[in-house]
Amino acid sequence: MEQTFIMVKPDGVKRQLIGEVIKQYEQKGLQLKAAKLMVISEELAKQHYAEHEGKAFYAKLITFITSGPVFAMIWQGENAVAVGRKLNGKTNHLEADLASIRGRFATDTSLNVVHGSDSLESAAREIGLFFNKTEQIG
Protein backbone atom coordinates (compact mmCIF):
# COMPACT_ATOMS: atom_id res chain seq x y z
CA MET A 1 0.00 0.00 0.00
CA GLU A 2 1.29 3.42 -0.95
CA GLN A 3 0.94 6.59 1.06
CA THR A 4 0.70 10.08 -0.37
CA PHE A 5 0.61 13.60 1.03
CA ILE A 6 -2.34 15.81 0.09
CA MET A 7 -2.89 19.35 1.32
CA VAL A 8 -5.90 21.63 0.99
CA LYS A 9 -4.25 25.01 0.42
CA PRO A 10 -5.32 28.29 2.08
CA ASP A 11 -7.77 29.15 -0.72
CA GLY A 12 -9.49 25.76 -0.36
CA VAL A 13 -9.70 26.06 3.43
CA LYS A 14 -11.07 29.60 3.16
CA ARG A 15 -13.71 28.42 0.67
CA GLN A 16 -14.68 25.52 2.99
CA LEU A 17 -13.70 22.79 0.52
CA ILE A 18 -11.98 20.42 2.99
CA GLY A 19 -15.00 18.13 3.15
CA GLU A 20 -15.35 18.04 -0.63
CA VAL A 21 -11.69 17.08 -1.05
CA ILE A 22 -11.96 14.35 1.59
CA LYS A 23 -15.13 13.04 -0.08
CA GLN A 24 -13.36 12.68 -3.45
CA TYR A 25 -10.52 10.66 -1.91
CA GLU A 26 -12.83 8.47 0.16
CA GLN A 27 -15.06 7.75 -2.83
CA LYS A 28 -11.98 6.62 -4.77
CA GLY A 29 -11.24 4.05 -2.07
CA LEU A 30 -8.25 5.63 -0.36
CA GLN A 31 -7.99 5.66 3.45
CA LEU A 32 -7.28 8.78 5.46
CA LYS A 33 -4.44 7.90 7.84
CA ALA A 34 -3.67 11.30 9.42
CA ALA A 35 -4.85 14.89 9.11
CA LYS A 36 -4.36 18.25 10.74
CA LEU A 37 -5.36 21.86 10.30
CA MET A 38 -2.29 24.07 10.61
CA VAL A 39 -0.65 27.32 9.60
CA ILE A 40 2.61 26.69 7.75
CA SER A 41 5.64 28.60 9.02
CA GLU A 42 7.88 30.37 6.52
CA GLU A 43 10.64 27.88 7.38
CA LEU A 44 8.42 24.86 6.61
CA ALA A 45 7.15 26.50 3.42
CA LYS A 46 10.72 27.01 2.21
CA GLN A 47 11.55 23.37 2.94
CA HIS A 48 8.40 22.18 1.21
CA TYR A 49 8.99 24.25 -1.92
CA ALA A 50 12.80 24.03 -1.93
CA GLU A 51 12.89 22.78 -5.53
CA HIS A 52 11.35 26.08 -6.68
CA GLU A 53 13.86 28.35 -4.93
CA GLY A 54 15.29 30.88 -7.37
CA LYS A 55 12.29 30.73 -9.72
CA ALA A 56 10.33 33.90 -10.45
CA PHE A 57 7.19 32.65 -8.65
CA TYR A 58 8.97 31.36 -5.51
CA ALA A 59 8.35 34.38 -3.23
CA LYS A 60 4.67 34.53 -4.24
CA LEU A 61 4.33 30.80 -3.56
CA ILE A 62 5.79 31.14 -0.04
CA THR A 63 3.59 34.15 0.71
CA PHE A 64 0.48 32.32 -0.48
CA ILE A 65 1.03 29.01 1.33
CA THR A 66 1.70 30.82 4.62
CA SER A 67 -1.27 33.22 4.22
CA GLY A 68 -3.77 31.08 6.12
CA PRO A 69 -4.48 27.62 7.46
CA VAL A 70 -3.98 24.48 5.36
CA PHE A 71 -5.37 21.00 5.90
CA ALA A 72 -2.53 18.47 5.65
CA MET A 73 -3.37 14.79 5.11
CA ILE A 74 -1.83 11.39 4.59
CA TRP A 75 -3.82 9.05 2.36
CA GLN A 76 -3.14 5.36 1.82
CA GLY A 77 -4.16 2.87 -0.85
CA GLU A 78 -3.22 1.15 -4.07
CA ASN A 79 -1.35 3.58 -6.35
CA ALA A 80 -2.15 6.41 -3.90
CA VAL A 81 0.25 8.89 -5.54
CA ALA A 82 -1.13 8.37 -9.06
CA VAL A 83 -4.72 8.35 -7.81
CA GLY A 84 -4.10 11.60 -5.94
CA ARG A 85 -2.60 13.27 -8.99
CA LYS A 86 -5.59 12.24 -11.09
CA LEU A 87 -8.14 13.37 -8.48
CA ASN A 88 -6.41 16.73 -8.06
CA GLY A 89 -6.11 17.43 -11.79
CA LYS A 90 -3.49 19.43 -13.66
CA THR A 91 -1.88 22.38 -11.87
CA ASN A 92 -3.21 24.80 -14.49
CA HIS A 93 -6.92 24.82 -13.75
CA LEU A 94 -7.72 25.63 -17.39
CA GLU A 95 -6.09 22.34 -18.46
CA ALA A 96 -7.53 20.26 -15.59
CA ASP A 97 -10.23 17.69 -16.25
CA LEU A 98 -13.54 19.29 -15.30
CA ALA A 99 -14.32 16.33 -12.99
CA SER A 100 -11.06 16.85 -11.02
CA ILE A 101 -10.80 18.93 -7.85
CA ARG A 102 -8.89 21.69 -9.64
CA GLY A 103 -11.16 21.50 -12.68
CA ARG A 104 -14.21 21.99 -10.46
CA PHE A 105 -12.93 24.43 -7.84
CA ALA A 106 -9.69 26.22 -8.84
CA THR A 107 -10.04 29.86 -9.79
CA ASP A 108 -6.42 30.47 -10.83
CA THR A 109 -3.25 28.46 -11.45
CA SER A 110 -1.95 29.71 -8.09
CA LEU A 111 -5.28 29.39 -6.28
CA ASN A 112 -5.73 25.75 -7.23
CA VAL A 113 -7.13 24.39 -3.93
CA VAL A 114 -4.89 21.35 -3.40
CA HIS A 115 -1.33 20.08 -3.40
CA GLY A 116 -0.47 16.43 -3.94
CA SER A 117 2.80 14.52 -3.91
CA ASP A 118 4.17 13.85 -7.41
CA SER A 119 6.13 10.69 -6.54
CA LEU A 120 6.68 8.17 -3.76
CA GLU A 121 9.90 9.98 -2.87
CA SER A 122 8.10 13.33 -2.62
CA ALA A 123 5.34 11.72 -0.55
CA ALA A 124 7.85 10.34 1.96
CA ARG A 125 9.63 13.71 2.18
CA GLU A 126 6.40 15.71 2.55
CA ILE A 127 4.91 13.33 5.11
CA GLY A 128 8.14 13.70 7.06
CA LEU A 129 8.00 17.50 6.88
CA PHE A 130 4.36 17.89 7.87
CA PHE A 131 3.92 14.98 10.25
CA ASN A 132 7.46 14.65 11.63
CA LYS A 133 7.55 11.04 10.53
CA THR A 134 10.16 9.20 8.51
CA GLU A 135 8.26 5.91 8.51
CA GLN A 136 4.80 5.14 7.21
CA ILE A 137 1.80 5.90 9.43
CA GLY A 138 -0.86 3.28 10.01
- Number of C-beta neighbours around residue 5 at 10 A: 26
With vertex at residue 43, the alpha carbon angle to CA 42 and CA 48, rounded to the nearest 5 degrees, is: 95
Nearest to 138 by CA among 72, 83, 80, 76: 76
Active site residues: 115
Strand partners, 34: 74
